[in-house]
Amino acid sequence: MDGGTGVSGNPAGPRARCLTIGSSDSGGGAGIQGDLKAFARAGVYGASVIVGVTAQNTLGVTATTSIGTGMVGHQLKAVLDDIGTDGVKIGTTWSAELIWLLVDRLVWLDEVPVVLDPVMVSAAGSALGGDEEAVTAVREGLLPLTWVATPNMTEARRLTRLEEEKDPAKLAEAIVELGARAALITDAFPGGAGDWLFDGERHHEITGPRRASGCDHGAGCAHSALLTAFLARGMPLTRAARTAHATVSLAIEHGAADIGNGRHPVELTAGSLPW
């Protein structure tokens, strides 16, 4: 029973566990660090598999390196053999080799929600991987394992190769056609704010006020990590998508304006979550 909240996780029962697969942000606002903060905020236990490291702050990314697939494999095995997971979030995916390793390992996870946030550029505009070969591997390998893909409009165009498409509904349908169970296009309304969800059958517009605080570093990471945590806790998809947007919107409005001199980080402390 979920007591009418739509959340079936039992507060007295075992904690839900989530795994983020992504890269370190030395500035602490996005990437693995942002994901773990979002997991904590959503009340799930967070584990991480680091596939890359960025030298980054609120002004941008100054250097990157990827972790060898052997070490990524060891991390995945260490987490999955012992801790296990009720939800997986995938962020930066640097190379086709890495993506195919993830496909090989994640295909064995039964009935665990997989959220793919195909990060290609940071909020400050820095490139974070994703060459053509990697995009092909995401399309052919990862999307068919994905429960919800959460690209922004630019990433959705790149993934679908519909470079001129302006309609989020068409992009979302194309992503589902490529194999994802659902697509949630973020920041889908020019001039407004909100996301477009296609759950495989129906379209849902998720709208809200546009925040102008300048604190959006880590917004995409927080959004997809919260979505993963909510799904891991048993929340239905449409409600999880709406709650993730509302929570991130507040995290932008009440962001960490005192941190850094560029796009300040989101701050996930404002507002209440439904448990």
Between helices 96-106 and 69-78, what is the axis angle to 10°? 20
Closest to ligand MP5 by CB, 9 or 243: 243
Please report whether residue 122 would count as binding ligand MP5 according to CB under 6 A. yes
Q: Give the type of residue at 163.
A: E
Closest to ligand MP5 by CB, 92 or 247: 92
Q: How far apart are CA 94 and CA 27, in angstroms?
A: 19
H or E stretch covering 230: helix 219-232
Stretch that binds ligand MP5, among 107-115, 188-196, 197-205, 219-227 (CB under 6 A): 219-227
- Minimum distance from residue 94 beta carbon to ligand MP5 (Å): 10
Please report whether residue 186 would count as binding ligand MP5 according to CB under 6 A. no
Q: How far apart are CA 83 and CA 48, in angstroms?
A: 11
- Minimum distance from residue 269 beta carbon to ligand MP5 (Å): 17
- Minimum distance from residue 252 beta carbon to ligand ADP (Å): 5
Between helices 31-41 and 219-232, what is the axis angle to 10°? 40
Phi first, then psi: what are they for 175, rounded to 5°?
Answer: -70, -40
Among 175, 221, 248, 252, interactor with ligand MP5 by CB under 6 A: 221
Q: How wide is the angle at C-alpha 121 spanned by C-alphas 120 and 125, nearest 5°?
A: 165
Residues near ligand ADP, by CB under 6 A: 123, 152, 186-187, 193-195, 210-211, 216, 219-220, 223, 245, 248-249, 252
Size of the site for ligand MP5 (CB under 6 A): 18
Please state, in angstroms and as integers, the Cα–Cα distance from residue 69 to each residue in 75, 126, 259, following that order. Answer: 10, 23, 34
Q: What is the DSSP string of 4-20?
A: TTT----TTSPPPEEEE
74 binds, among ligand MP5, ligand ADP, none (CB under 5 to 8 A by kind): none
Q: How wide is the angle at C-alpha 208 spanned by C-alphas 200 and 60, nearest 5°?
A: 90
Contacts to ligand MP5 from residues 147-176, by CB under 6 A: none
- Minimum distance from residue 270 beta carbon to ligand MP5 (Å): 17
248 binds, among ligand MP5, ligand ADP, none (CB under 5 to 8 A by kind): ligand ADP
Chain residues in the site for ligand MP5 (CB under 6 A): 22-23, 25, 30-31, 54, 56, 91-92, 119, 122-123, 128, 217-221
